[in-house]
Structure 1
Amino acid sequence: MLRRLQVMELVQNWAVWRDAGDWERFRTVWAPEGRMMATWCQAPAEGFIKASQEGWAKGVSILHFLGGCSVDIEGRRAIAQTKMTISQRAPVQGVVVDVVCTGRFYDFVEEREDGWKIVLRQPIYEKDRMDPVNPAERLELDPELLGRFPEGYRHLAYLQTGIGYEVKTDMPGLKGEKVTALYAAGAAWLRGGTLDWEE
């Protein structure tokens, strides 16, 4: 139970420190080879930190809220699945909106000499929605652009594309081949296998 709590604390620290812009402490949650797979950035941990800092400086607003967490541990390895929402605010066609995306963080975690560290974070995107911050404003989306993105994060991707990010279009969702492959990679990781999760 103590080791599970340590992994859960790691997951919580990721969200708090990242959203607060506490970049030095945020670095400590990652293994040296750690990697982040987000819709807008797929990069080694240091590259993700740099991209987050650049976005922060430009006023990009992405926040995370965490829910329940399930941790499976085998030896010095763990898989943590954490219910979460990603909330992003930005203008879309001149209307300031909030997008809320519901899903899970799926984390490949390993115990190192200085504690548990994230080796890979792959979010699972389950559903999302977009709402004008001012409910009196009317928002009209381009259906062709919206239809380019998977159901689980299409509004998030629409917003991120509009502010200049190149969004990955084949992230795991609630169902399908990508999430099935992710679960298989997690099971192999717990058995001691190498991490060969494909981007």
Structure 2
Amino acid sequence: MPTIETDHFEIRQLVENWVLWRDAGDWERFATVWHPVDGWMTATWFQGPATDFIAVSREGFDNGVSILHFLGGHTADVLGDRAIAQTKMTINQRAMVDGVEVDVVCTGRFYDFCARHEGAWKIVRRQPIYEKDRLDVVDPSASLDLDPQLLRRFPVGYRHLGYLQTKAGFTVKAGLPGLTGDVVQRLYGEGAKWLAGAGTPGDPH
């Protein structure tokens, strides 16, 4: 019989496995962290089933797209065979912007809807919360002028990440949750309903 301590340990391990296996390109093991039927991923540049996310992440990895993740503090609310996990994280992306190599670091949280499936915890839905970000040129002697109109298209939580990804050819979704505001409050509400037994993990679309 699983204990609450075991559940917390396994959920934390699940979140850590997501980052280690994705960033290392270990795609077979990366697929195991997701619920095999209902897994769904939302990111600035992708929204869709986990199987599709794995495929496009692998394609990007093979083509040299550099997106890395680091984890911090973690907490999980567990109720029976469901959980909501929140984990502090950074998204680190390196790319060329107008001929200048830059790093963007975005700080936020992974907000994960989890479920026990065949005795093991899986991620049903992952929704990052974007709290703040910054852009730095890799070469300190280089200079870069940003387009203020393009920069203002994105919320403050992922303004520079959205800028870089747009310049890199991605289609970036607007209106994703930040530290405060109606969007993140709606996400918290969806999490509470998930723990209470809702049929679906909110509306990831």
User: What CA distance in whole angstroms lies between the structure 1 residues aligned with 2:59 and 2:118?
Assistant: 31
The code of the aligned residue for 1:24 comes to: E
* C-alpha RMSD of the superposition: 0.7
Q: Give, in angstroms, the shift of residue 198 of structure 1.
A: 4.3
Q: Give unpaired runs (5+ residues) of structure 1.
A: none
User: What CA distance in whole angstroms lies between the structure 2 residues aligned with 1:109 and 1:180?
Assistant: 19
Counterpart of 1:197? 203
Counterpart of 2:105? 100
Counterpart of 1:135? 140
- Partner SS, residue 101 of structure 1: strand
Q: Cα distance 1:27–1:198, how it changes in 2: closer, same or farther (>3 A)?
A: closer
User: What CA distance in whole angstroms lies between the structure 1 residues aligned with 2:147 and 2:15?
Assistant: 36
Matching of residue 163 in structure 1 with residue 168 in structure 2: yes
The number of residue pairs the alignment matches comes to 199
Q: Deviations over 1:57-110 (max 9, x none)?
A: 211000000001001000000000000000000001111000000000000000
Q: Give, in angstroms, the shift of residue 114 of structure 1.
A: 4.4
Counterpart of 2:128? 123
Percent identity over paired residues: 61
1:25-174 alignment, distance < 5 Å: 25-32=29-36, 33-174=38-179
Q: Give, in angstroms, the shift of residue 172 of structure 1.
A: 0.3
- Partner SS, residue 142 of structure 2: coil
User: What CA distance in whole angstroms lies between the structure 2 residues aligned with 1:97 and 1:15?
Assistant: 22
Work out whether residues 42 and 204 of structure 2, in 8 Å CA contact, stay in contact via their aligned partners in 1.
no
User: What CA distance in whole angstroms lies between the structure 2 residues aligned with 1:188 and 1:66?
Assistant: 26
The code of the aligned residue for 1:143 comes to: P
Matching of residue 19 in structure 1 with residue 46 in structure 2: no
Q: Give unpaired runs (5+ residues) of structure 2.
A: none
The code of the aligned residue for 2:203 comes to: W
Q: Deviations over 1:135-179 (max 9, x none)?
A: 110111000000101100010000000111000011000011110
Scaled by the length of structure 1, the TM-score of the pair is: 0.98
The code of the aligned residue for 1:175 comes to: T
User: What CA distance in whole angstroms lies between the structure 1 residues aligned with 2:167 and 2:143?
Assistant: 17
User: What CA distance in whole angstroms lies between the structure 1 residues aligned with 2:76 and 2:120?
Assistant: 16
- Partner SS, residue 28 of structure 1: helix
